């Protein structure tokens, strides 16, 4: 039954122009229901909708996970910084594509649950911290890709500053009622912004 629901979801993603075979393969490989604790919500794991999780947060709609991942264009050689681990589902998807994923979550409970899930699934290319993600990774370093899974009015300067040469960041920008996904790309001495689709994310804390 789950296979049927998963294949229906993959078909829906393809119908909605998610075309990268690596992203689709990652969505197939990572069991979304494993990242949902509430038993009454597990049957909805493969519906294309956001669902509530602990600490008043959400696990993002699968289409948005796939869309943001595809726009980030993660390659196997890349180190990725994720701001907002949440349930860990998006982190796990990224781990299938990147060399290593560094992820920060401000809520201790979410951090603890996500780390347990990573271990249970054998995802050994993830380093997870509990802390303030708006400041970026605590140790000064550059990342090939950055993904932010919470909304902000403007891209935090500390995150932009951790973009490496030719680096890219996908981030929801704007007020909660009028957010849009933005692609932030570093090109030599400048940083370019491209506005993409409208979304609604919880605010970055």
Cα 99 from Cα 196, distance rounded (Å): 26
Structure tokens at 127: 């380093």
Q: Which residues are identified as catalytic?
A: 60
Cα 175 from Cα 203, distance rounded (Å): 9
Residue 168, judged by CB atoms within 10 A of its CB (0-12, 13-18, 19+), counts as: buried
Strand residue runs (E) in the chain? 51-52, 58-59, 79-83, 100-105, 126-130, 143-148, 163-173, 179-187, 190-199
The residue behind tokens 């009015």 is 153
Q: Which helix (H) or strand (E) holds 15?
A: helix 2-15
Q: Which of 61, 75, 65 is nearest to 168 (CA)?
A: 75
Q: State the first-to-last Cα distance of the chain, in angstroms, to the nearest integer.
A: 38
The residue behind tokens 């603890």 is 112
Cα 187 from Cα 166, distance rounded (Å): 5
CB contact set of 157 (below 8 Å; sequence gap of 6+): none
């Amino acid at each position: 039954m789950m296979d049927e629901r998963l294949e229906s979801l993959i078909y829906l993603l393809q119908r909605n122009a998610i075309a990268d075979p690596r992203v689709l393969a990652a969505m197939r490989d990572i069991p979304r229901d494993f990242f949902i604790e509430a038993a009454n919500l597990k049957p909805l794991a493969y519906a294309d909708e956001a669902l509530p999780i602990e600490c008043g947060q959400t696990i993002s709609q699968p289409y948005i996970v796939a869309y943001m991942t595809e726009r980030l264009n993660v390659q196997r050689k890349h180190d990725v910084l994720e701001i907002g681990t949440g349930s860990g589902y998006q982190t796990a998807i990224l781990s299938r594509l990147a060399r290593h994923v560094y992820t920060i979550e401000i809520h201790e409970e979410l951090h603890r649950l996500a780390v347990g899930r990573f271990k249970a699934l054998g995802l050994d290319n993830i380093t997870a911290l509990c802390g303030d993600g708006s400041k970026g990774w605590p140790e000064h370093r550059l990342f090939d890709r950055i993904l932010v899974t919470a909304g902000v009015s403007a891209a935090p300067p500390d995150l932009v500053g951790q973009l490496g040469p030719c680096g890219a960041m996908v981030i929801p920008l704007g007020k909660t009622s009028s957010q849009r996904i933005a692609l932030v790309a570093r090109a030599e001495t400048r940083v370019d912004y491209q506005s993409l689709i409208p979304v609604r994310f919880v605010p970055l804390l």
